[in-house]
Structure 1
């Protein structure tokens, strides 16, 4: 089955709760990313799966079996640690194949898997070296190779690419996906890096302060954030979020207002939503110098250069907003205007910070587009 199920799992150290009431199903053979900032509980969650931490309360199931009291060695997992965890007295080849030799696999099969891993992670020529003779990035690649050759039901990775340079990191991401597509292990990958999460994951589980914020495909997490935290965490620069309220078919920010299409007016009216947080991504704002009907007006504060594009930061009624432009001649003090793209805005309940959803026509368009 290769399924992992967290059933109301909690993990605490004394009175400090690290994981709180986690309910999470990881499907057999999928690539799931545990994403979040440092201290959010993602690595602890991974260690609970590996059997390296004890569960305080709740139940964890793997392959349909409750494993709360099953030792790590009996869970059929491979794990890549952020700090390598290599045997210092062994060569690269011996570190990679140690687990296979313990399993008493045929020598020919061990050598075949070793050569494949060395090729994939560009370790050819390093077989006879010991960890002390390797750079940090090379040690991390050895740790990856050791996990890959085992081909366990569950492959667990804790920030596995953090010590690789950018070019090799991109190469390793693609190779990890290829490995998964070949062996169909249940693949759980911890990272704080959004690029890794988006490019590697089939689903992303976003965590904050020990709680699951959202779990969905990368596309959905980006385009339909479940709450304010998700909207702000995903994307760089992050989603613009500012207080607004609804009256007379208009979104009102401070003393300015923009009329909404009837579909949004009906949706907000149906939900009884009057005060809320309005969200819009920087890349979905189109700036204009001249004001026409139905536009907000702001003042440029500064322009951030990204090389192939610019981030224009401006003020609207005391709210800092950023827009992404291909190129711009705007300077601090310039006036800028923008309207709201009705299919690109997000509305979050002011009390719960949860997304109130979207008018049906935008949902239909969204899911049709997604299925293409």
Structure 2
């Protein structure tokens, strides 16, 4: 099997730990995204897979074998770097086929593969140009072609689209998915861009300060984040996180109180520290001019115009932190009193001390499992066949 397994992997430079006790399996043929802010250890993790970084401790398995001491060239990987890493003195053609010639592949097979990737990545007519004569998007496609033409079992990408403009990134993302669906390599993609992670990945591993915070499908990462960091990192604008109190089935936010729905009470009662934070995504905060049983009051501070929607910043009564809500129309004015209705199906509860999620009611987990079930990608088709992930009924893995 062309899977990748990390067992208690640590990467450190002296006392500086870059990756801390990483345990993870990357399944054969899947698209896994390593997502996180700069310095979280995601690129180092990718380079350990490639053999470009030594492992301080622990074991890395590929094809069922420990590869800690296996040289980079013997691991059967293709890699696309952030800075393209093209040979400036070579033509597009020679950059693409350099690795194949180094492995003494037959000329007929080299030409066949070259023609295939030139057509796939729209590089026809550019074969004799040097990198300096290409645009940024063209250089990126050459770097991708050089990796794809090897048809390796493992396809590794280190922020390959970060130097492209928005339109090129959109097209390149589609090309990457198309390439993966054609050859089905085990693909590991490093990025700090949540949009790339959510659109390209079948599963997303969120890393923070050298630790893996969460490993799950994009929909579960968004709908059931494992920690406050995951909740804030995914989504734009990021999730509202507000300190609150809970007692006898009542949730107090500032000096306002609402009755917590029964499905949430066992979860709230089990909080280890007894200190709580509530999470509400801006797009799930519904504004109204009239109060309801599940609303809290606030005053509009200011409004941001995003073009197709509006971000409304609200000072919640009795609470120091502000809350943002997304509106498509009927936008309130600054200074106006407004009510924020809380949909308990879209609520998130966290332990304020550990910053970990307290979990989700069975009803919400069923809804999210159903959402994944009907997704068309290959990873979710595996769930329909009763794979390991389906057996866990869509619960997130928090490490």
By the TM > 0.5 criterion, same fold?
yes
The match for 1:50 is 50
Q: TM-score w.r.t. structure 1 length?
A: 0.96
Asked if structure 2 preserves the Cα contact closer than 8 Å seen for 1:4 and 1:61, the reply is yes
CA distance in 2, matches of 1:66, 1:370: 33
SS at match of 1:160: coil
Is 1:186 the equivalent of 2:186? yes
Cα offset, 1:183, TM superposition: 1.3
Alignment partner of 1:326 is 2:351: no
Q: Contact 2:288 / 2:341 at 8 angstroms: preserved in 1?
A: no
Q: 1:54 to 1:266 in 2, by over 3 A?
A: closer
Is the Cα–Cα contact under 8 Å of residues 312 and 322 in structure 1 kept in the other structure?
Answer: yes
1:274 deviates by 4.0
Q: 1:206-232 deviations in whole A, cap 9, x for unaligned?
A: 001111000000011111101111000
5+ long unaligned stretches in structure 1: none
Between the aligned partners of 2:154 and 2:272, the Cα distance in structure 1 is 46
Change (3 A) 1:328 1:109: farther
Q: State the shift of 1:362 in Å.
A: 2.4
Instruction: Report the counterpart of residue 211 of structure 1 in structure 2.
Output: 211
CA distance in 2, matches of 1:18, 1:199: 27
Q: 2:340 aligns with which of 338, 341, 363?
A: 338
Deviation at 1:148, TM superposition (A): 0.8
Distance 1:270 1:86 in 2: 55
For 1:44 and 1:81, how far apart are their aligned partners in 2? 13
The alpha-carbon deviation at position 140 of structure 1 amounts to 1.9
Partner Cα separation in structure 2 for residue 369 and residue 8 of structure 1: 32
Distance 2:372 2:132 in 1: 48
Q: CA RMSD in A?
A: 1.5
Distance 1:36 1:349 in 2: 22
Number of equivalenced pairs = 372
Structure 1 distance, partners of 2:86, 2:102, is 16
Residues of 2 paired with 1:178 and 1:318: CA distance? 48
Q: Deviations over 1:138-172 (max 9, x none)?
A: 22221111001111010000011122232222222
Q: Tell me what 2:394 maps to.
A: none
**Are 1:295 and 2:274 matched, yes or no?**
no
**In 2, Cα distance between equivalents of 1:363 and 1:142:** 43
1:173 aligns with 2:173: yes
Name 1:258's counterpart in structure 2.
Answer: 258
Moved over 3 A (4+): 270-274
Deviation of 1:19 (Å): 0.7
Corresponding position of 2:388: none
Query: Can you list the C-alpha shifts for 1:51-73, whole angstroms capped at 9, x where unaligned?
Result: 00111111111111111111000
CA distance in 1, matches of 2:237, 2:103: 48
Q: Please state how far the C-alpha of 1:272 moved relative to its aligned partner.
A: 6.5
CA distance in 2, matches of 1:173, 1:246: 44
What do residues 212-268 of structure 1 show as CA deviations (whole Å, max 9, x unaligned)? 000000011111101111000000001110101112321101111111122222432
Kindly tell me: are residues 320 and 151 of structure 1, through their superposed partners in 2, closer, same or farther at Cα, counting changes over 3 Å? Answer: same
CA contact (8 A) 1:258 1:339 kept: no
Structure 2 spans left out of the alignment, 5+ residues: 375-399
Aligned mate of 1:356, from 339, 355, 358 = 358
